[in-house]
């Protein structure tokens, strides 16, 4: 069941991100809008689009979340392998994605303190701060 769901969610998430999918959804909305006068903009006519979009959205949340979880896990495994294989890298960072937000914040603060004397690190931090401020 896991393999089937993984393959299915990957295919649906991949298909949903294509321009053709957007155009199909857009066409459905246009057709629905054009049929309004035919159905006198009735409650049933409105209920059709509301129910349809709610069902599709509800199901897509689970499918896309599954695909994103797998992608994130694969990326994390790759990063862990790079850390493990790199000489001089701190293996302590392998698996930190399982830490709490407070633990991660503590690690980030500790690393920033270690870089205080490093001019390149200060420069990189200033650039990062500027990028964040632009958003």
User: Do 74 and 133 sit in the same domain of this protein?
Assistant: no
User: Do 16 and 73 sit in the same domain of this protein?
Assistant: yes
User: Do 122 and 90 sit in the same domain of this protein?
Assistant: no
User: Do 54 and 35 sit in the same domain of this protein?
Assistant: yes
Closest listed residue to residue 122, CA positions, set 132, 111, 133, 107: 111
Which residues span the domain enclosing 122? 99-135
pLDDT tens readout for residues 76-108: 999 888 988 888 877 887 888 888 888 888 888
**Positions of the chain with pLDDT lower than 50, given as ranges:** none
Closest listed residue to residue 65, CA positions, set 57, 75, 53, 76: 57
User: Do 7 and 61 sit in the same domain of this protein?
Assistant: yes
The total number of residues written for the chain in this structure:
135
User: Do 74 and 11 sit in the same domain of this protein?
Assistant: yes
Domains of the chain: total? 2
């Amino acid at each position: 069941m896991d393999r089937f769901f993984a393959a299915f969610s990957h295919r649906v998430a991949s298909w949903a991100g294509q321009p053709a999918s957007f155009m199909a959804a857009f066409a459905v909305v246009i057709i629905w809008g054009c049929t309004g006068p035919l159905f006198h903009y009735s409650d049933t006519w409105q209920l059709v689009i509301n129910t349809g979009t709610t069902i599709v959205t509800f199901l897509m949340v689970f499918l896309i979340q599954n695909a994103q979880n797998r992608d994130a896990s694969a990326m994390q495994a790759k990063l862990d392998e790079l850390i493990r294989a790199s000489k001089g890298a701190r293996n302590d960072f392998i698996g930190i994605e399982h830490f709490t937000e407070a633990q991660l914040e503590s690690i980030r603060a500790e690393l920033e303190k270690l870089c205080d004397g490093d001019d390149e690190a200060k420069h990189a931090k200033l650039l990062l701060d500027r990028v964040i401020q632009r958003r």
